[in-house]
Structure 1
Amino acid sequence: MPPLRWPRRPPPRPPRPPLVLRLGNPRRRINIGLIGMTFVLSIFSGRLVQMQGLDSKVYEAAAVGQRTHTEKIPAKRGSITDVNGHGLAVTVEARELSIDPSKILPQDRPKWTKLLAQQLGKTEQEISAKLARTNTRYQRLATDVDPVVASRLLQARVPALSATKTYRRLYPAGDLAGTLIGFVGDDGDGLGGMEQAKNKLLAGRDGEQRVETGRDGLRIPMTSSQRTTPVNGQDVRLTIDRDIQWAAQESITGQVKKAGADSGTVIVMDVRSAQIIAMANAPELDLNNWRKAPAASYINKAAADVFEPGSTNKVITAAAAIEAGEVTPDTVFQVPDRIKCADQVLRDAHAHKSESMTFRQAVAESSNVATIMAARKVGSERLYRMLKAFGFGSTPGGGVPSAEAGLLPDYKSWSGSQNCTVAYGQGVSVTALQMASVYQTIANGGVKVEPQIIAGTTDTSGRFVPAPAGKQTKVVSATTAKEITTMLESAVSAEGTGLLAAIPGYRVAGKTGTANRYDAKLGRYEGYTASFVGFAPADQPRLVVLSVLQNPKNGHFGGQLAAPVFKDVMTFAIKSKKIPPTGSTAPPVRMRAGQ
């Protein structure tokens, strides 16, 4: 048996040689690195050249823009004064307070809320809501803050509280001539009356200052600033006399309340210059609380409200008839108490038998029928032209804010009855200002002067510059004006309707008016307009006073309600102006046909 053979082992492998890291060429590696670095640096260098070279001014301007802030420097608004320089609307220094809510710690918020609310006169809820807006860095807390209050809060070290100098508008006289003066809104612009009409003159021109500030809002020292100096507004001096204005408002306010009227108006005017010495309304607007008043109370009714004048308009019919030579004050009419006009029957205020009346008596007793008879002698065209000459249908000049033109239809469009009713003041509409101007014309010898409300202004140096005199227009002759004056003087006598307007020691000429009142809301005639307008002294006229009451409930005749207001205001005005009685007596006139 052959011997067993074991398999032969393979011979051992020889050991592998160790791995050898073959390094590249160092010079090539360095060159590649340098090329990469050069490329990156070239990009940075190009960008740097662009920023510091080509676009340097752009980035410089952007940086300055981020640091620069423009602050408005408010101009001081000019004052509105009465004719003697008493302030009716004045501007005083104030502060605007703002805060950065993000700087108020939550645990300190209740403390600062309570303090700010107490000092600023606001509710804690309002202040708390502002301080809770921590996502903003600016919250205005209040404007028109008294500088003393602002200083007190700054001394209390309220965090991030800042104060900016500004101004606030004050009205020392409250509601005195409120709707005439108007008021200023939160943006500093006038919103009514003279404040709006003369806003550009009063407001001046704000300045500004450009400063550079840091992230904390503080100015960066040693940086440049640009400043444009504000130009303060100019003062406006009115023709209004504060004392007479007060007397007029007191009288008409009391009578409106007594008569249960909707409203009332008084105008006092200088006969020679047509300057408006008083322009009062009742109720009047309290300028210190105008935000709480309804918008309807912003209207200056003396210049803007139109109404049918009634019998005060009869002087124009008389002027047209006398100027045309158709009648004289002594012309006698046979006057019934009613007259047919087209399809209407028109009546006198009181029933009476047919009687002979002089034209003077007809005006004194305010006969509608006799006035229609005189108007028929004149004709509608000539009456229309006289109404136009006295200013009906035209907006008065002279700078009275919100003045309206009224309504005077062309005579060609008058209805059959309107040809008669216009003669005694129905079918036309006027303002109180227009009617006062009519009597100024008669009192001034037939010369109409454009009503004036502005006495003058101050220039940039503070020098007073008087306003130009009102435009003068000859309407009727001096003879006609004198004859009408004697008729109006009779109307204030014991035989006229205006006896309650008589002033002891003075000769007074005037006329009552009682007209049906058109109510635009109801779309029909409802209630009455009671009025009286006249002048004194009758022989040397100095002042015109007109009083009007709208929709009185306790009585409705002008001689009953408006004449006493005329007397009160005229008495105060002539004493205030130191106008003495002339000492003369009214000449004897033929009042009745049988005399």
Structure 2
Amino acid sequence: MLRLGNPRRRINIGIIGMTFVLSIFAGRLIQMQGLDSKVYEAAAARQRQHVAEIPARRGSITDVNGHELAVTVEARELSIDPTKVPAASRPAVARVLAQQLGKSEQDIAAKLAKTDTRYQLLARDVDPVVSTRLMQAGIPSLSAEKTYRRLYPAGDLAGSLIGFVGDEGTGLGGMEQMQNSVLAGRDGEQRVETGRDGQRIPMTSSQREAPVDGRDIRLTIDRDIQWAAQKSIADQVRASGADSGAVIVMDVQTARIVAMANAPELDLNNWRKAPASSYVNKATAEVFEPGSTNKVITAAAALEAGAVTPDTVYRVPDSIRCADRVLRDAHAHKVESMTFREAMAQSSNVATIMAARKIGSGRLYQMLKAFGFGTRPGGGFPNAEAGLLPDYRKWSGSQNCTVAYGQGVSVTALQMASVYQTIANGGVKIEPQIVAGATDGSGRFVPAPAGKQTRVVSETTAKEITTMLESAVGAEGTGQLAAIPGYRVAGKTGTADRYDADLGRYNGYTASFVGFAPADKPRLVVLSVVQNPRKGHFGGQLAAPVFKDVMTFAIKSRKIPPTGSDAPPVRARAGQ
């Protein structure tokens, strides 16, 4: 006989099982809606909430007269959702986008084909007019976000000094990087609640934090003089077959930089295509041995110590032994009597060594330090280097002599220009300045504080050196090509062996000239330096003409009147 199961038992077991399952659901429901409701509510809010960045407008960079060198204008960033573009429409859409954006049609088509993503960036820095035209063209899911782009109206004018801005809006070189915290401002943000389609949900809350625009920076450079300096040094670099060159124009009384030019210079509107070497401001970053322009420091140390006077007479051979080396003058000559002034005018290495021996290496080292050697200059210059000034106790036997005429130490163009500013300013060194000031939060211009002043040598010593430097530009000197009709000019040539870091040895020359005018009432210092020229190599031959061109333009631009007096009579030669 077949015995059937008890249906009541099965029903009871089923009811118990269902009750257990329902109790689990109920417990979970209580947990979600009761105990953890706040947690899920917050998670849902986060999922709906969208934060949009509101970019701040970057501040401008201008020259000392307010002419714009770097400005920010409105732009658009275009993106698209490839999943919303029908496959049949992609070729036509790609063609329209490529034509309007100046992009490759193949590149745009490749982005539209990436249907595994809902976002593809098409272009940055799009002109708002172009963006509006595309948005009205009916392209599916095309989005435009308001941004800013950086423009450089003057192209390569002071390019490596000004620097440039990357895609993320951050300064990547020059003053753009050095002053980024001032120029950049602070981005704002907009918080809204959106649905799955990205559209804002009506009647939901919205929070907005306004951006703080960047402040404007005014540099000390003069646009017109900067242009003249760039043209002159670029022409000379090209004519002499040199690797590079630099020019600095500095105001004597304030140490403000009036021009800072490099050749070759960086075109800021095409910086991505330029070699990385052109990103560096060589006038502050390139280190070289100064050669004979350094002799003014030896002269200053000797005059301050009372070891020599401008009229001290030396019996000067054309060579001198120093430790294990025989050091020679620039040209062979018989033993001749020279005043110290004449030795400076003719740039005699031997006479300079003889003067340096009277004061010793320790005192010369201290004077080099006082003029700023071995110390990174302040003033907010990008990429500024300290140069090389070894401790005198570590100088080799020959270095005790060669440092006196500018070999065995290294400087930047800015440091050497500062030396001559000190002499021209009556012995008072002023920390060089490149920033004239900046706007504050309300847009009011606030001047930068003046540079720190330090007396390095006495006014008497500075005047005696000035008369020597006038002789160096005179008929008996090596800097005759720097003379400017109607103006008294004081200056010094420099020709030094050039150390090539890539080769690990000396190779080629550094030709330089630095001076100031008018010598009787100094207003401007101009330094020119030409690196590794192939056609000629003397500072008086290559750098002095650049000095003359730039100084002539600068004194005319600043309406500096001609010198009203003749150079004082001096004893130029021994026996006179």
TM interval, shorter chain, is over 0.9
Match of 1:102? 83
Q: What amino acid maps onto 2:197 in structure 1?
A: D
Q: CA deviation at 1:245?
A: 0.5
Q: How many angstroms does 1:353 deviate by?
A: 1.1
User: How do 1:37-48 and structure 2 match up within 5 A?
Assistant: 41-48=22-29
Aligned-pair distance for 1:86?
A: 1.1
Query: Deviations for 1:224-270, whole angstroms, at most 9, x for unmatched residues?
Result: 11111111111111111111111000000000000111100000000
Unpaired runs of 5+ residues, structure 1, are 1-18
SS at match of 2:376: coil
AA aligned opposite 1:154: M
How far off its partner does 1:47 sit? 2.7
Question: Relative to structure 1, is the Cα distance of residues 33 and 516 closer, same or farther in structure 2, using a 3 angstrom cutoff?
Answer: closer
Indicate the residue corresponding to 1:158 in structure 2: 139
Of 563, 566, 573, the match for 1:592: 573
SS of the residue aligned with 1:173?
A: coil
**Alignment partner for residue 88 of structure 1, among 65, 69, 82?**
69
Which of 249, 272, 284 matches 1:291? 272
Q: Is it true that 1:229 corresponds to 2:213 in the alignment?
A: no
How far apart are residue 336 of structure 1 and its match?
1.1
Q: CA deviation at 1:493?
A: 0.7
The structure number with the bigger radius of gyration is: 1
1:28-83 C-alpha deviation (Å, 9 max, x unpaired): 99998877766555444333222221111111112112211111111111111111
**1:393 maps to what in 2?**
374
Taking the aligned partners of 1:563 and 1:375, their CA distance within structure 2 comes to 26
Q: Which amino acid aligns with 1:377?
A: K
Q: TM-score, normalised by structure 2?
A: 0.97
Within a 5 Å distance, the mapping from 1:218-297 to structure 2 comes to 218-297=199-278
Q: Cα–Cα, structure 1 residues 51 and 327, in superposed 2: closer, same or farther, change >3 Å? A: same
Q: Residues 43, 412 of structure 1: CA spacing in aligned structure 2 closer, same or farther, 3 A cutoff?
A: closer
Give the equivalent residue in structure 2 for 1:462: 443
Moved more, 127-136 or 576-585: 576-585
SS at match of 2:283: helix
Please name the residue that 1:125 is paired with: 106
The residue aligned with 2:166 is 185
Shift of 1:468: 0.8
Measure the CA separation in 2 of the matches of 1:523 and 1:391.
Answer: 26
1:378 maps to 2:359: yes
1:486 corresponds in structure 2 to 467
* SS state at 1:573 partner: helix
Once residues 556 and 280 of structure 2 are traced to their aligned partners in structure 1, the CA distance between those partners, rounded to angstroms, is 30
Alignment of 1:316-355 (within 5 A): 316-355=297-336
Bigger Cα displacement from structure 2, 408-417 vs 41-50: 41-50
2:527 maps to 546
Letter in 2 for 1:165: K
What is the alpha-carbon distance in structure 2 between the residues aligned to residue 40 and residue 329 of structure 1?
110
What is the alpha-carbon distance in structure 1 between the residues aligned to residue 385 and residue 12 of structure 2?
A: 94
Judging changes above 3 Å, is the alpha-carbon distance between structure 1 residues 524 and 38 closer, same or farther for their aligned structure 2 residues?
A: closer
The reply to whether residue 363 of structure 1 matches residue 319 of structure 2 is no
Is residue 55 from structure 1 mapped to residue 36 from structure 2 by the alignment?
Answer: yes
Look up the equivalent residue of 1:97 and give its one-letter code. L
Identity of aligned residues (%): 82
> 1:203 matched to which residue of 2?
184
With over 3 angstroms needed to count, the CA separation of the structure-2 counterparts of 1:65 and 1:329, relative to structure 1, is same
Task: Give the TM-score normalised by the residue count of structure 1.
Answer: 0.94
Q: Secondary structure of the equivalent of 1:592? A: coil
Q: What SS is found at the alignment partner of 1:254?
A: helix
Gaps of 5+ in 2: none
Deviation by residue 1:66-111 (Cα, 9 ceiling, x = unmatched): 2111111111111111111111111111001010101111111100
Which letter does structure 1 place at the counterpart of 2:502?
Answer: K
Q: 463, 472, 483: which is aligned to 2:453?
A: 472
Measure the CA separation in 2 of the matches of 1:33 and 1:570.
Answer: 105
Q: Say which of 393, 409, 416 aligns to 1:412.
A: 393
Is 1:216 the counterpart of 2:197? The answer is yes
For residues 41 and 412 of structure 1, what CA distance do their matches in structure 2 show?
92
Give secondary structure in 1 for the equivalent of 2:73: strand
